[in-house]
Amino acid sequence: MVLKIIFGVVAVIYFMRLFYLQVWSDQFDQQAKDNAIDIRRIEPARGLIYDRNGKLIVYNAPVYDIMVNPRNVKEMDTLKFCEILSITKADFIKNLTKARNYSRYKSSVFLGQMSIEDFSKFQEYMSQFPGFYANVRTMRQYPYNCGPNLFGYIGEVDKNQIEKSNGYYEQGDYAGKFALELQYDNELRGQMGISYLLVDNKGREQGSYEDGSQDQKPIAGQSLISTIDIDLQVYGEKLMKNKRGSIVAIEPSTGEVLCLVSSPSFDPNLLTGRKRGENYMKLLNDPQKPLINRPLTAMYPPGSTFKPFTALAAMTDGVLDENYSWHCTGGYSIPGKFLKCSHGHPTPINVMEGLKHSCNPYFWTMFRRTIDDDTFGSVEKGYQVWWQHMQDMGLGHKTGIDMPGEKGGGVPSTTYYNKIYGKGQWHSTTIISLAIGQGEILATPLQLANSYASIANHGYYITPHLIKKIGDDSISIKSRYPKISTKINQICYASICEGLRRVVESGTARSCKIPSIELCGKTGTAQNSHGENHSIFAGYAPYNKPKISIAVIIENGGYGAAYAAPIVSLMVEKYINDTIETSRLKMEKKMFDANLLNTGGYGKKTTDTSAVD
């Protein structure tokens, strides 16, 4: 009996223990899975990017990542391993330590982005190095070798991106880091595939878990159709060679960005592959700052290119009509100062002639009359109305382009002036340089091109954008970009457009006339503290039914007509006619060859108060 009791007690204890282990506790199932299942992620092919004419501008080429699962690494011929991969023993230890610090049981990248040639050498011996295997992934290729500021690049995700991705990214993954690759990362990256592999106690593969029924195939990223005309982009970069500055071209009727040139530029393929880090450091330390996306982030005083907006504000408030004529005495008196008009021109002039000759006193008068108008009651209220007009015309705030990092330029607010001068202590004469695009006023090349698009459209613009189709979807994208009215009386535009036409026809930019196209625009010369003036031109073409609105800024390029205007005319001719007329090839060559890199520093923010032109 005693024996039976002893046996029985032991059996009951064991029974209870088994109940605990097998029925009650649920930790062991997961532990068994952790042991035997190796989760491998399969990276999908990243989406391609096409230009507006269907040309492939970003695609993928295969590269190989050597992966390591530290748990499975065994004793091996390290010397041979290092030799095949051409790394040092120190690299080997460093990379392996990094992988182990990340996880001892999960795979991570040991050596990234090997070309197919380097990899094939390793592949032959791979079986001798347990724990190491290869993952094919794709490397971005940019066949036109241009537009690094446009496309951005992909690189290893940082902590921030991992957190933001809600568990999608893990250390060692690659994601878009800049510009379009970053902006449209969610669309381009697709959906990661997962495969569950069974492994034995030594980590050797033993087939797929549940016959692969749990596996998820990767879904390739969506292709993007860009609004960019890649030929125009290439041509723009060629023209901008050895110059600092930007070209932004927009199709006014749609808001589609045709090109976005930032100069100096570089080959975006430098930022792919194994040399990426090295090249990146070189570019980062380049004094010409090629990594800056100038069209969106460099802010310049717009200079005389701002004059049409001064005129439009005055006209819509009823201060000025197209026939209003004003007598330029070759200068302008404000209390304590006499500001000279720098251009010799016939007088009196109306607004069209004022634009054509870029007469500063004309616009100073208009500006003062606008904000000092009795109907507003005070300068502050008058200025507030004027400020609102500028906002409506797309200045002083971000355009909202589909690219990260854009800057908003600046049109100073009444609050700003109250703070600087005190409430009621400032007058139209205090801020008079705003009238001609100097002073505190700043605009990015993109803003300038966009605001000129609103002139081309006679009163509206469409938020500039770079992508018009994601996968098969172009409709929902169109609805993202509605017409935005400038709230300027439409009648006002006719005379402004005529004025801009005359600038090229017979005014300050007459040297840049294109025989077959009526180009409209305005030259600008922005003084700045970093050396030579910035050469600026903004405009659109043709006069009737405009196809392109464009702004060019050449840092330290001198007069607007010196570099910016010729480059605009060449770009417009190239875009509309596809060829440059023989008579203008000389000018084209001159622009190709000009080297302005040593004419001064980078004028990021200038607040000079006067401008000529």
Partner 1 sequence: MERKRNPLSEFDWGLVSIYAVLLLFGCFSIYAASYREIMATSFLEVFNLDTSFGKQMMWVGVCIVMVVVCLLLDSKIYTTLAYVSYGVAIVLLIAVLLFGKDVNGNKSWFGVGSFGIQPAEFAKFATALALSKFMSGMNIDIRNNTRHLFTALAIIGIPACLVVLQGDLGSTLVFCSFIFVLFREGASPLFLIIPFVTMVISIITLKYGVVTMLVVDALSLLGLLYFFRKKKFNPNLLFVIIIHVGIAIYALGVNTVYMNVFKDYQRARIDYVLGKYKKDKKKPAIQEVVPVVDKNAKKERKFDDWNVRQSMIAIGSGGILGKGFLKGTQTRFSFVPEQTTDFIFCTIGEEEGFWGTSLILILYILLLYRLINTADKQRSTFSRIYGYSVAGILFIHFMINIGMTIGIVPVIGIPLPFISYGGSSLLAFTLLLIIMVKLDADRLHVLR
* Residues near partner 1 (CB under 8 A): 2-4, 6-8, 10-11, 13-15, 17-19, 21-23, 25, 27-29, 31-33, 35-37, 70-76, 78, 89, 92-93, 96, 104-105, 131, 198-202, 206
For residues 326 and 365, is the Cβ–Cβ distance under 8 A? yes
Cα 299 from Cα 167, distance rounded (Å): 37
For residues 373 and 514, is the Cβ–Cβ distance under 8 A? no
- Cite the DSSP H helix spans in 393-523: 414-421, 445-456, 475-480, 492-506
Q: Which is nearer to partner 1, 2 or 475 (CB)?
A: 2
Q: Which is nearer to partner 1, 201 or 213 (CB)?
A: 201
Q: Which is nearer to partner 1, 26 or 472 (CB)?
A: 26
Q: SS3 letters for 523-561?
A: EEEEEECCEEEEEEEEEEECCCCCCEEEEEEECCCCCCC
Ramachandran region, residue 534 (left: φ > 0; alpha: ψ -120 to 50; beta: rest): beta
Q: Which is nearer to partner 1, 37 or 597 (CB)?
A: 37
CB of 71 to partner 1, least distance (A): 7
Q: Which is nearer to partner 1, 70 or 236 (CB)?
A: 70
CB of 154 to partner 1, least distance (A): 31
CB of 212 to partner 1, least distance (A): 15
Q: How many CA atoms lie within 13 A of 97 on its CB side?
A: 6
CB of 3 to partner 1, least distance (A): 6
Parallel, antiparallel, or unpaired: how do β-strands 132-141 and 520-528 relate? unpaired
Q: What is the CA radius of gyration of the chain?
A: 32
CB of 135 to partner 1, least distance (A): 19
Which residue is listed with tokens 């800056």?
A: 292
Cα 481 from Cα 103, distance rounded (Å): 45
Cα 265 from Cα 236, distance rounded (Å): 11
Cα 139 from Cα 272, distance rounded (Å): 7
Cα 533 from Cα 300, distance rounded (Å): 11
Q: Which is nearer to partner 1, 200 or 286 (CB)?
A: 200
CB of 11 to partner 1, least distance (A): 5
CB of 22 to partner 1, least distance (A): 4
Q: Which is nearer to partner 1, 100 or 427 (CB)?
A: 100
CB of 85 to partner 1, least distance (A): 14
Please tell me whether the peptide bond between 295 and the residue prior to it is cis, using omega within 30 degrees of 0: no
Q: Which is nearer to partner 1, 34 or 473 (CB)?
A: 34
